[in-house]
Amino acid sequence: MRSLILLLGCLVTESTLTDPCGNYTVLEQPWRSTDCKDTDCSGQWMCDTRLGKAWYRLKSSGGWKIPEHVVPKRRCSTDFTIWLNGSHPTVGQGEVTKTVCFHGNTDCSYTLEINIKNCTDYIVYELKPPPHCQSAYCTDPETADALGLNDHSTQQSTDPDSLSPTPSPKTDTQYKMINVEVHSKMKVDDETAKGIVLKRLQQMTDEQCPGKSIDLNQVDVQCSDVDP
């Protein structure tokens, strides 16, 4: 009996088709800033009820993150301000579900669950429309400074990147030690055995993880005899 010890490098490519980091709509709306009182920034009361449920990236001089603290009423160019009751996820946490609060009669008179993902340099939100007007998602203007955006937000709209975000594939290489025992009645040499085992492992990986493209790279194979 032969024992093959395979050190396999698994190249895991997260599918850009399903990753919201590469498929979102940019909302470049400075009027969402918590600094915007009443209708000062927009000339009219704003309402998100017609915002379709989808992934959005908030990107304007008014901020690029939903505030993690209570926002007073009549800010963000709306009456019922929407803020995040919780904190933004880290990259490692992936896609998380968080609660947003509507500031109505109380700080949190109505809530919605939204999904959030940290794409390292920016955040994407799967926003849902609020049930009634006037309510809108707020942005924290302090988070715009961190991105280096200034007040010339209209210039940002000509930025092709903000119109059609480029998907950025995430790759992650992980090494796993796999010990495979090969039982063979025929005298199969090591190279043939390695080839058969790798091919079968790749098939199993493709079956188990249909949404991902995982390539098994043979890094090192040691062969040793084991006592029967």
Binding site for ligand NAG (CB under 6 A): 17, 23, 54-55, 70, 85, 88, 90-92, 101, 107-108, 118, 120, 122-123
Strand duo 135-137 + 123-127: pairing: unpaired
Please state the closest distance from residue 143 (CB atom) to ligand NAG, in A.
8
Give 8 or 101: the residue with its C-beta nearer to ligand NAG.
101
In contact, 56 and 124? CB cutoff 8 Å: yes
3-state DSSP call for residue 147? helix
Please state the closest distance from residue 169 (CB atom) to ligand NAG, in A.
13
Give 17 or 177: the residue with its C-beta nearer to ligand NAG.
17
Give 204 or 209: the residue with its C-beta nearer to ligand NAG.
209
Please state the closest distance from residue 60 (CB atom) to ligand NAG, in A.
15
Give 74 or 88: the residue with its C-beta nearer to ligand NAG.
88
CA dihedral over 87, 168, 162, 159, signed as positive or negative:
positive
Distances (CA, A) of 78 to 10, 19, 107: 49, 31, 15
In contact, 224 and 5? CB cutoff 8 Å: yes
CA distance 71 to 140: 10
Give 92 or 210: the residue with its C-beta nearer to ligand NAG.
92
Give 55 or 80: the residue with its C-beta nearer to ligand NAG.
55
Please state the closest distance from residue 161 (CB atom) to ligand NAG, in A.
16
The residue whose two tokens read 């915002």 is 51
User: What strand order describes the sheet that includes 110-118?
Assistant: 25-27, 54-58, 123-127, 110-118, 95-103, 80-84, 135-137
In contact, 62 and 36? CB cutoff 8 Å: yes
H helices, E strands: number in the chain: 4, 10
Please state the closest distance from residue 100 (CB atom) to ligand NAG, in A.
10
Please state the closest distance from residue 27 (CB atom) to ligand NAG, in A.
13
